[in-house]
């Protein structure tokens, strides 16, 4: 195991070097990391299967996603868009008096501490989204490995850091620590300049508080918890209730429900009639071991709390048993509760991580948002199922006000790694309500801007030079205009 | 004075309405605010002159800057750039499996609490940069007025809020509170979704801690303190020492040094010979009343602490006297100290807000950065003066690593309101080291992103529709490509 001080010193040493690597070379290193993961696919997937019980098909596709993510990020880095270069040409006639030559771009924040998640041993772990985006931003990364897949974490770190170094990245660009004590020591370490986290609201809040309490506070990007409400209208049930039941069963059962985007509270009109369809769809579900003993305990407790409530009906009870190692083995469970009853039971409005969902039955569509307002804080996603041509704009507006992603007619599970993705939302979905941990926009979380005023061209960083040797996009605000927008301020 | 709960309720009520105002109409309201300030120019400047002692020429130009700023922001809003619309076209053949139609844009965070500064009664107060950028983002604003200009704050709020309402903005789009208790109650209020601050490190840290400790934490954009180091090489002195002395005198004396960008520590080679030039340039400086009793006390204490140190030489002692109301009246003062001595006196490495600067004398250019590393944390600016064709890239690299703006051959005072501006830097210049409080990029601090997945066009927000009724910039990631970048991932 690495000593915390050694790891932090090594990352701090690597930071200016990795920051100075030109985009093309940094992109090459990210591709090398992707290629190395591919070259070690069978070994890594095998380790993940042993440690997580997530199953080979899911793990294979998750590793593919992780590899493609690194390649996509390498393209973004090579194109230079994430540098956000912006140039004000000098303007002696500027409306507020002579304007200097001013050139701004984004630079990396410095060493990033990334707390890995249990539920995505590839995509939100050592080589996952937070690591890929911090590396793409030009930051060295120290991963606090998740105890749910320790051997996989060590091997992934070895494979990726070797690939990075062999492709020219400085030593210290990627490192790993294992213990909680090491994670806490590092988030307090002045050499760490930002932190990211995917996990529970409790642990996330504790870490966010540590980050805020430092002598020099740092940005803490925590993706904590989400209930992912789903609103289904009566028309949607009438038109395609069977399809909704099938989709819901898949979304709750997939990965044994251990997804931050699992739909947890599905609002349905009374008399929706989905229960027989759900029972049928779920009756063939295999028993599944949950990821960790901690996830197991949380699931068993949450399911019991729900089923023991007199207002709750265990319409699909599922099965659950603890093995001798305190892992839960379980099949999907569904409970129903009346919306008005749920609104009076804040203790039930909590994430049950695993294959469990509430069907929340409402009387009138008009009451839906009033009840939802009382129940929910921020979420990663809100989903709406409506009929053809049904106007559900109020539901969509509520969804946008309370989440980072609004899904229509589908399910929140499955998060594409693309430019338009937003994985993050108002507290407690994300610590500050801003930023995304999936998609290429995730890179900017690990950058800050620096402007250069009247610096001679030869001494400017390459992206800011007139000759633009790295061929990055440069946005100019020409002289003689009020700003970048080509409009007259008196218009 | 307004009741805190009433003000917060009114802002929360205005939030969805103001957020829904189309860009052209929101831009019109910002222009109306600018026009109203212009229409009340003589009254407002008169009030400011009575309350701040900053003098008419400075206040006239500051009001102009504030008006132009609102107009520039109205242009940005009208153009729609700050919405950052990004569209992934649906792609059944996407490399990771079928990709949904995904459309992301930025929405306002909600009511913003803005703590006004003392030293810019227009530009960093009721209608200043933080207010303009939050309004431009679509957020209602509650200003905690600064006690240094209370009547001006009330009148500015009346003038601007009337103009906003008459141009169609909802009531509650701009409000003001006065007391510290109100500010503290509001930063804890769940209806407030972000806060901004310009002022001292002590108060800023206290407010940042309150924002982080909330049940739902919020972003706190504090611009706290800055020492603004200046490095002058021996060659620069040899080539144009007289010009440097003149520029420094102006930068220290202007606005009685009460600027967050005043150069506080000017590193000069021993034997620089600037003292007679500085004495000459400053001997005609008028006595100036400082802004508040608190600024007065801080200045008197800081100057005394410097001058009483045995390692410090009061080369331009200036004058200072307290009047019966505990305001300091002062002329500019300059002290010298050897760099090695300063490095051993952390108590002197502190912002003295007002017309005071240290000349820090160094022996060898090679020692400069080692000493600076020991002395400085983050700053708003770092300035370098060098000779013609002299290579000072190591100084510029240090500057970029320790600040948000790097100035060459000029002075940090004077901050243009333009797209490329960056006013913010590593702690304690800015609370999180990220974000700018000057320039059009300031708007994005008050936004978060929301993505819409597979939502029918007719129910999408206007900026995301294919028909693009608001004609905002839309960036597409077409199907059939790996992403937005038109590159093959195997390249």
Mutation for testing the B interface, residue in A23, A453, A464, A486 having most B CBs under 10 Å: A453
Q: Where are the domains of chain B?
A: 4-224+435-447, 229-408
Cα–Cα distance for residue pair A235/A249, rounded to 1 Å: 20
User: In A, residues 277-306, which contact B (CB 8 Å cutoff)?
Assistant: none
Percent of chain A past pLDDT 90, that is, above it, reads 90
Q: Which helix (H) or strand (E) holds B220?
A: strand B220-223
Exposure string of B150-165, with b = 16+ CB inside 10 Å and e = fewer, is eebbbbbbebbbebbb
How many alpha carbons lie under 13 Å from residue B239 in its C-beta half-sphere?
A: 12
Cα–Cα nearest to B355, from B250, B243, B279, B273:
B250
Is the CATH code 3.50.50.60 the one for domain B229-408? no
Q: Say if the Cβ atoms of B484 and A419 lie within 8 Å.
A: yes
Q: Do A104 and B448 touch (CB under 8 A)?
A: no
B 112-131 residues inside an 8 A Cβ radius of A: none
The answer to whether B100 contacts A452, with C-beta atoms less than 8 Å apart, is no
Domains B4-224+435-447 and B229-408 share a fold: no
Q: Which of B416, B452, B459 is closest, CB to CB, to A102?
A: B416
Cβ–Cβ under 8 Å, residues A376 and A226: no
pLDDT in tens, A329-367: 999 999 999 999 999 999 999 999 999 999 999 999 888
Nearest CB to A433; choose among B102, B103, B109: B109
CA distance B334 to chain A (A): 26
Residue-wise pLDDT tens digits, B412-468: 998 988 899 999 999 999 998 889 999 989 999 999 999 999 999 999 999 999 999
- Decide: A85 and A30 in contact? Cβ < 8 Å: no
Q: How far is A317 from chain B (nearest CA, A)?
A: 32
Residue from B13, B30, B216, B451 whose CB has the most chain A CBs within 10 Å, to mutate? B451
Residue A241 zone, left/alpha/beta (φ > 0; ψ -120 to 50; rest)? alpha
- B212–A216 CB contact, under 8 Å: no
Looking at residue A484, what is its pLDDT? 35
Mean pLDDT computed over A294-314? 96
SS3 B450: strand
Tell me the pLDDT band of A93, cut-offs 50, 70 and 90: confident
Residue A95 has pLDDT above 90, yes or no: no
Cβ contacts (< 8 Å) between A68 and chain B: which residues? Answer: 95-96, 489
In this prediction, residue A2 carries a pLDDT of 55
Please name the residues in contact with A284: beta carbons below 8 A apart, sequence gap of 6 or more.
none
Measure in Å the smallest separation between the Cα of B70 and chain A Cα atoms. Answer: 10
Given this model, what pLDDT does residue A481 score? 62
Contact yes or no for B483/A443 (Cβ under 8 A): no
Nearest to A33 by CA among A123, A152, A151, A158: A158
- From the list A68, A335, A480, A418, the residue with the least C-alpha distance to B477 is A418
- On the question of pLDDT at B1 being above 60, the answer is no
Interchain CB distance below 8 Å, B95 and A68: yes
| pLDDT value for B434 | 86
State the catalytic residue, choosing from B223, B239, B308, B351: B223
Distance (Å, whole) CA A171 – CA B449:
35
Looking up tokens 């591919």, which residue turns up? A38
Which CA distances in Å does B191 have to A289, A369, B110, B170, B303? 42, 18, 8, 17, 42
Q: How far apart are CA B382 and CA B397, in angstroms?
A: 10
Residues B222-235 pLDDT 10s: 999 899 999 999 99
pTM: 0.95
Compute CA distances B28 → A146, B78, B136, B438, B443, whole Å: 52, 9, 11, 21, 17
| B100·A416 Cβ contact <8 A | yes
Distance, CA of A449 to CA of B404 (rounded, Å): 6
Locate the chain B residue with the closest alpha carbon to A210.
Answer: B212
Three-class SS string for chain A? CCCHHHHHHHHHHHHHHHHHCCHHHHHHHHHHHHHHHHHCHHHHHHHHHHHHCCCHHHHHHHHHHHHHHHHHHHHHHHHCHHHCEEEECCECCCCCCCECCEEEEEEECCCEEEECCCCCCCCCCCCCHHHHHHHHHCCCEEEECCCCCHHHHHHHHHHHHHHHHHCCCCCCCEEEECCHHHHHHHHCCCCCCEEEEECCHHHHHHHHHHHHHCCCCCCEEEECCCCCEEEECHHHHHHHHHHHHHHHHHHHHHHHHCCCCCCCEEEEECCCCCHHHHHHHHCCCCCEECCCHHHHHHHHHHHHHHHHCCCCEEEECCCEEECCCCCEEECCEEEEEEHHHHHCCHHHCCCCCCCEEEEEEECCHHHHHHHHHHHCCCEEEEEEECCCCCCCHHHHHHHHHHEEEEEECCCCCCCCCCCCCCCCCCCCCECCCCCCCCCHHHHHHHEEEEEEECCCHHHCCHHHCCCCCCCCCEEEECCCCCCCCCCCCCC
| Interface touch A104/B422, C-beta < 8 Å | yes
Provide the token pair at A42.
């069978």
Residues of A with CB below 8 A from B405's CB? 450-453
Chain B positions touching A223 (Cβ under 8 A) are: none
Exposed, middle or buried by CB within 10 Å (0-12, 13-18, 19+), for B262? Answer: buried
Nearest-angstrom CA–CA distance, B53 and B16: 40
List, for residues B236-259, the tens digit of each pLDDT value: 999 999 999 999 999 999 999 999
The DSSP code sequence of B89-149 is --BTT-TTS-B--EEEEEEE-S-EEEEPPSS-TTTTSTTSHHHHHHHHHT--EEEE--TTS
Give the tokens for residue B388: 């013609």
* Residue B400: alpha-carbon gap to chain centroid: 17
- Please choose, from the candidates A142, A234, A133, the residue with its C-alpha nearest in 3D space to the C-alpha of residue A179: A142
Per-residue pLDDT of A426-458, as tens digits, reads 999 999 888 999 999 999 999 999 999 999 999
Which among B112, A241, B84, B121 has a CA at the least distance from the CA of A249?
A241
Q: Quick one: average pLDDT of A282-291?
A: 92
Per-residue tokens: A312? 């709750």
Per-residue pLDDT tens over the stretch A138-188: 999 999 999 999 999 999 999 999 999 999 999 999 999 999 999 999 999
Extract the tokens encoding B274: 């600037």
Tell me: the pLDDT tens digits for A22-81?
Answer: 999 999 999 999 999 999 999 999 999 999 989 999 999 999 999 999 999 999 999 998
**Chain A residues with beta carbon closer than 8 angstroms to that of B401:** 16
CATH class of residue range B4-224+435-447: alpha beta
Which helix (DSSP H) or strand (DSSP E) does residue B474 occupy? Answer: strand B474-477
The total number of residues written for chain B in this structure: 491
Interface touch B455/A64, C-beta < 8 Å: no
CB contact under 8 A, B216 and A434: no
Contacts of A447 (CB under 8 A, 6+ apart): A82, A106, A107, A108, A109, A137, A138, B434
Q: Which residues pair with A430 in a beta bridge?
A: A223
Contacts of B76 in chain A (CB under 8 A): 483, 485
Place of tokens 């995904």: B102
Rounded to the nearest 10 degrees, what angle do helices A23-39 and A56-79 cross at? 170
Contacts of residue A99 in chain B, CB cutoff 8 Å? Answer: 416, 418
Is A452's CB within 8 Å of B428's CB?
A: no
Q: Does A184 touch chain B (CB under 8 A)?
A: no
Give the best residue of B449, B472, B479, B486 to mutate against chain A (max A CB count within 10 A): B449
User: How far away is chain B from the Cα of A125, in angstroms, using its nearest Cα?
Assistant: 19
Dihedral sign for Cα B21, B23, B25, B29, please: positive
Residue B17, number of CB atoms within 10 A of its CB: 16
Residue A487 confidence (pLDDT): 33
The H-or-E segment that residue B334 falls in is strand B333-338
Average per-residue pLDDT for chain B: 94
> What's residue A483's pLDDT?
44
Q: State pLDDT tens for residues B54-77.
A: 999 999 999 999 999 999 999 999
Q: Which own/partner contact pairs does A413-417 have at CB distance under 8 Å and 24+ positions apart?
A: A413/A251, A413/A254, A413/A255, A413/A259, A413/A261, A413/A262, A413/A263, A414/A261, A415/A261, A416/B88, A416/B94, A416/B96, A416/B99, A416/B100, A416/B102, A417/A65, A417/A68, A417/A69, A417/A72, A417/A129, A417/B96
Is residue B86 among the annotated active site residues?
Answer: no
Q: How is residue A170 written in tokens?
A: 């400085």
Partners of B392 on chain A (C-beta within 8 Å) are: 459
Say if residues A211 and A241 touch (Cβ distance below 8 Å). Answer: no
For tokens 């706190």, what's the residue? B220
Give the pLDDT confidence score for residue B478 in this predicted structure: 83
Return residues 68-87 of A near B (CB < 8 Å): 68, 71-72, 75-76, 78-79, 81, 86-87
Tokens of B446: 């008050």
- On whether the CB atoms of residues B66 and A384 are closer than 8 A, the answer is no
Q: What are phi and psi of B472, to 5 degrees?
A: -95, 155
Query: What is the pLDDT at residue B489?
Result: 32
Burial class, B129, CB count within 10 angstroms (exposed 0-12 / middle 13-18 / buried 19+): buried
- Interface contact B216-A427, CB threshold 8 A: yes
The residue with greater pLDDT, B37 or B435, is B37
Q: Which residue of A has its CA nearest to B479?
A: A418
Q: Where are the alpha helices (DSSP H) in B188-332?
A: 201-213, 234-253, 275-282, 293-307
Q: How many other C-beta atoms can be found within 10 angstroms of the C-beta atom of residue A474?
A: 17
Q: Residue B280, CB half-sphere, CA atoms under 13 Å: how many?
A: 10
Q: Are B470 and B122 in contact (CB under 8 A)?
A: no
Which residues in A lie closer than 8 A to residue B480 (C-beta atoms)? none
Residues 363-402 of A with CB under 8 A from B: 377-378, 391-393, 396-397, 400-401
Nearest to B482 among A75, A426, A447 (CB): A75
Whole-number pLDDT of residue A477: 86
Chain A residue closest in CA terms to B219: A432
Which residue among B216, B422, B424 sits closest to A377, beta carbon to beta carbon?
A: B216
How far is the alpha carbon of A326 from chain B, nearest alpha carbon, in Å?
33
Q: Which residues are B217's β-sheet partners?
A: none
Residues 409-448 of B with CB under 8 A from A: 409-410, 416-422, 424-428, 431-434, 436, 440-441, 447-448
Average pLDDT for B286-309: 95
Q: Is the pLDDT of residue A490 over 60?
A: no
Catalytic residue list of A: 223, 260
Do A109 and B433 lie within an 8 Å CB cutoff? yes
């Amino acid at each position: 195991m690495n000593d915390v001080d050694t790891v932090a010193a090594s990352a701090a040493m690597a930071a200016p070097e990795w920051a100075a690597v030109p985009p093309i070379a940094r992109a090459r290193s990210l591709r090398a990391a992707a290629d190395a993961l591919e070259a070690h696919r069978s070994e890594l997937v095998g380790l993940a299967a042993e440690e997580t019980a997530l199953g080979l098909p899911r793990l294979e596709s998750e590793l593919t996603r992780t590899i493609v993510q690194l390649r996509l990020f390498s393209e973004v880095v090579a194109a230079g868009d994430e540098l956000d270069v912006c140039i004000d040409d000098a303007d002696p006639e500027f409306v507020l008096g002579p304007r200097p030559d001013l050139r701004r771009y984004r630079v990396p924040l410095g060493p990033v501490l990334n707390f890995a998640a249990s539920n995505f041993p590839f995509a939100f772990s050592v080589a996952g989204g937070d690591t890929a985006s911090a590396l793409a931003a030009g930051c060295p990364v120290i991963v606090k490995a998740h105890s749910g897949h320790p051997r996989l974490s060590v091997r992934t770190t070895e494979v990726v850091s070797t690939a990075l170094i062999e492709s020219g990245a400085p030593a210290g660009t990627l490192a790993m620590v294992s213990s909680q004590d090491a994670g806490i020591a590092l988030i307090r370490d002045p050499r760490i300049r930002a932190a990211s986290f995917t996990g529970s609201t409790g642990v996330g809040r504790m870490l966010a508080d540590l980050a805020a309490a430092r002598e020099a506070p740092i940005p803490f990007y925590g993706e904590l918890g989400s209930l992912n409400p789903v609103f289904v209208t009566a028309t949607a049930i009438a038109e395609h209730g069977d399809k909704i039941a099938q989709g819901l069963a898949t979304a709750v059962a997939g990965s044994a429900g251990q997804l931050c985007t699992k739909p947890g509270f599905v609002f349905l009109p009374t008399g929706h009639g989905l229960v027989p369809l759900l029972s049928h769809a779920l009756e063939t579900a295999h028993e599944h071991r949950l990821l960790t003993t901690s996830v197991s305990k949380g699931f068993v407790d949450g399911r019991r709390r729900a089923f023991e409530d007199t207002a709750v009906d265990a319409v699909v009870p599922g099965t659950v048993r603890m093995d001798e190692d305190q892992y839960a083995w379980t099949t999907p469970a569904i409970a129903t509760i009346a919306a008005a009853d749920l609104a009076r039971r804040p203790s039930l409005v909590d994430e049950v991580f695993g294959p469990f969902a509430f069907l929340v039955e409402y009387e009138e569509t008009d009451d839906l948002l009033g009840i939802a307002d009382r129940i929910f804080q921020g979420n990663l996603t809100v989903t709406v199922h409506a009929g053809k041509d049904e106007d559900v704009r109020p539901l969509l507006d509520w969804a946008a006000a309370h989440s980072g992603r609004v899904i229509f007619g589908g399910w929140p599970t499955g998060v594409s790694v693309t430019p338009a993705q937003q994985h993050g939302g108002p507290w407690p979905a994300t610590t500050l309500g801003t930023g995304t941990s999936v998609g290429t926009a995730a890179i900017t979380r690990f950058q800050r801007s620096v402007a250069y005023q009247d610096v001679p061209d030869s001494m400017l960083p390459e992206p800011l030079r007139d000759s633009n040797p790295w061929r990055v996009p440069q946005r100019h605000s020409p002289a003689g205009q009020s700003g970048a927008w080509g409009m007259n301020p008196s218009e």
